[in-house]
Chains A and B, each alone.
Chain A
Amino acid sequence: MALDKQQLVEMYRRMCRIRYFEEAVIEIHSSGELIGPAHPYIGEEAVAVGACAALRDTDRIAGNHRSHGHPIAKGGDVNRAMAEILGKSDGYCKGKGGSMHLADFSIGILGESGIVASSVPIATGAALAAKLSKQDFVSLVFFGDGASNQGACHESMNMASLWDLPVIFMCENNGYAITTSYKNSVSVDHVSDRASAYGMPGVLIDGQDAIAVWEATNEAVRRARAGEGPTLIEAMTYRFEDHSLGLDKIRKSEYRTQEEVDEAMTRDPLPIHRSAMINQGFVTATECDEIEATVHTEIEGAVEFARNSPYPQPEDLYEDMWATPV
């Protein structure tokens, strides 16, 4: 199976959507309109988009603190995502969640977690539900190289493999957990090397190439739907920006050399995908330019939508605490 033109173009559109969305968030943050932390996904777009291109709307995903890109890749609405980040009532979570907690249950986005690795068991449980209720959805969880060191991660992988759950563990290895490098925090060369210890396939891929990510995910999804159990995919990627907006004292190059950052930035997932499409004769450069321009307009619209959306009211404070209010 290969991706057709329409799919490739849609992937490019979503990568641009994430990139421009994040650029807008950075701009808004630097203007002081946003006070809380926000973690830019710039540089890692191919992972979210390649993975979600292999999923259906009914499939579930869960993410982490760096999760603006994951919901957008799954088909999330940028207006509601941006409104959430600005803490507005039209936001995905009515302003209750914010940057680290976007969620759209209607299209399988089970929400992001600010506590590192705490979504991994959640996604595992979603896969358990699919198995127990004999539904054919799969679940996929995005987590970092840092997260891979949490007990919750190891425990989930063991259970998923033991019970043959339809879950895909998508590790975004960007080489760092804040300032801590991969080599100073993981005892094996690759997170995917650990898969054999759980008895599941471990697949190491180029996370800057959306098509490669799609291929690996597609196979993992096939396995999952066929009842063959989980897969651990490790996508090698790189975070182009600082770890977090609002933690600006830790500049991106203080713990990484500028050469390393520059070198990594030559492998920008957007131009890689754009060239792949053009080289394969699917689209022309002009068509790509058009997509980019349309998405730019879309994101400007999202910012305007978010700015115009009202803030929640004090009486909303106690809403949504309980199914049956106490």
Chain B
Amino acid sequence: MATKTYIQAIAEATIEEMERDKSVFTMGEDLRHSVYGATAGLVERFGEDRVLDTPLSENGFFGAALGASLCGMRPIVETVTSFLWVGMDQLISQAAKMRYMFGGQAELPVTFRVRMFYARGASAHHSDRNYPVFMNTPGLKIICPSNAYDAKGLMKTAVRDNDVCLLFEDGIAISSRTEVPDNADLPNGELLVPFGVANIVQPGSDVTIVGIAGGVQHAIDAAKVLEAEGVSAEIIDPRTLVPLDTETILKSVAKTGRLVVVDPAHKMCSAGSEIAAIVAQEGFWDLQAPIQVVASEQINVPYSPALEPLIYPTPEKVVSAIRTVLG
């Protein structure tokens, strides 16, 4: 089986879906020159009509993607977390609400591929990890792959899904490699990962660690450190936050009695807080210790290399949270 980078996986999914379905097209800034790495060669392969380089007009082209999707097209929009703010009107007032407001008449099969850069000295304007904002808006599916396999499988599912999907591509995971099977080796000839089904990254019995996006790797690294001390950690990657596979998380907590959530987003009203709230409400009697959420500090991202690394979750912070829940 071949290993691929997260970016390669996204690129493959795009090509496969565009080949499969003529109504799929991509739009975004600087696609032809593949500034964000996942669109190289697409224009040559599919032509300019299906690979649109847009002007710098996020609110405009996000909305144009929605409008096209209402009329039979299936757009894939490429952007960056921090640029979502510019298109908020279209994302929140239209994308999230149209189907419901119009009594189910509106079909919006749009996938927003959203690169999530952080931890690379890009300062507050280019370091947003803003999926929780969109979780708080009913009507949007939120997808957070942590590795190349899931990125490919979830991306293909998103393109085929008839709701608006926001797929967040974690910037610290995008060059990481994982095994991604070739289509020929798959029973159905293609890789599809369903929404709402968590991945149990490793089974364990002493503590449950739920990792979100880049947080999964921190969970794995932390678990390795503690394994040497005889701690058995179960690591869960929800993969999609909306829909969220609460069942797998609750089952795990029922077994371990302890929960640590690792979320790169800011802590207040994060995906971590939501998961903690669900477990507190529905799994309270299984808990043997207070839940710990390891998330980013509740401050804007500082630029200085002396400050920025201090605000995000790290394996060390996860280790210390695990020690806390183990008592």
Contacts and interface: CB of A to CB of B under 8 A. Distances in A.
Interface of A: 34-37, 84, 87-88, 93, 95-101, 113-118, 146-147, 149-152, 177-180, 184-186, 247, 249-250, 254-255, 311-314, 316-318, 321
Contacts of B86: 115, 118, 150-152
Given A36-B120, A151-B60, A179-B33, A312 B304 contact: yes
A149 B59 CA distance: 11
A40 to B, nearest CB: 16
A116 B56 contact: yes
B10 to A, nearest CB: 17
A178 B126 contact: no
A98 B122 CA distance: 8
B303 A317 contact: no
A40 B35 CA distance: 17
Contacts of B125: 100-101, 113-115
Q: Nearest 6 A-B pairs (CB), nearest first?
A: A36-B121, A98-B303, A114-B125, A87-B304, A95-B304, A311-B306
Interface in B25-45: 29-30, 32-33, 35, 37
20 contacts: A35-B121, A95-B306, A98-B303, A101-B123, A101-B124, A101-B303, A114-B122, A115-B125, A146-B55, A147-B56, A151-B60, A178-B30, A185-B53, A185-B56, A186-B55, A311-B305, A312-B306, A313-B306, A314-B307, A317-B299
B297 interface: yes
B176 interface: no
Count class of interface residues, chain B: 35 or more
Given A87-B304, A96-B304, A115-B85, A151 B57 contact: yes
Contact of B123 (A100, A151, A186, A255): A100
A93 to B, nearest CB: 8
Contacts of A115: 82-83, 85-86, 125
Contacts of B297: 317-318
Contacts of A151: 57, 59-60, 86
Contacts of B35: 178-179, 247, 250
Interface in B57-81: 57-60
Nearest to B57: A149
B55 A317 contact: no
Contacts of A177: 29-30, 55-56
Contacts of B126: 37, 100, 114
Interface string B120-141: 1111111000000000000000
B307 A317 contact: yes
A312 B56 contact: no
